[in-house]
């Protein structure tokens, strides 16, 4: 199932280049554009909507790596991560996604969740 999600996300992202800004989101902040891009490109499928990671992707928020490192990794990924060349996901779009990830709150510590306390 996870492999199917990855393939669908990759196919959707290859349909047209993803740009950081379109006419309809010109007034949006970088983080708002990044949130929309994160969903549109399919990052959530592996990394979760909160960037906390999942079965096939690591945690990437709330403290994302610097944009140049993310861009380099997206262009030259390892493991199951699909490649996102600049022709598919522009550098400015990646920077907006990073801005969104930086706005995500830290998860609660386990001892703050009543069901997880002994």
Report whether pLDDT(115) > 70. yes
- Plot region of 106 (φ>0 → left; ψ -120 to 50 → alpha; else → beta): beta
pLDDT at 92: 96
Q: How many residues does the chain have?
A: 118
Catalogue the active-site residues. Answer: 80-81
pLDDT digits (tens, 9 = 90+) for 53-111: 988 899 999 999 999 999 999 999 998 899 999 999 999 999 999 999 999 999 888 88
Q: Is 24 helix (H, G, I), strand (E, B) or coil?
A: helix
Strand partners, 18: 89
Report whether pLDDT(21) > 80. no
Check if the beta carbon of residue 71 is closer than 8 Å to that of residue 94: yes
Domain residue limits, the chain: 2-105
pLDDT at 108: 85
pLDDT at 23: 46
Q: What is 2-105's CATH superfamily?
A: Cytochrome c-like domain (1.10.760.10)
Buried b (16+ CB within 10 A) or exposed e, 77-98: eeeeebebeeebbbebbbbbbb
pLDDT at 8: 45
């Amino acid at each position: 199932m996870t492999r199917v999600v990855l393939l669908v996300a990759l196919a959707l992202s290859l349909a047209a280049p993803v740009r950081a800004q379109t006419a309809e989101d010109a007034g949006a902040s970088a983080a708002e554009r990044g949130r929309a891009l994160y969903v549109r490109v399919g990052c959530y499928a592996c990394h979760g909507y909160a960037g906390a990671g999942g079965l096939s992707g690591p945690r990437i928020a709330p403290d994302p790596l610097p944009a140049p490192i993310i861009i380099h990794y997206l262009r030259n990924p390892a493991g199951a991560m699909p490649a996102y060349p600049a022709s598919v996901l522009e550098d400015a779009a990646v920077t907006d996604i990073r801005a969104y990830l930086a706005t995500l709150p830290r998860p609660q510590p386990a001892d703050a969740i009543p069901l997880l306390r002994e």
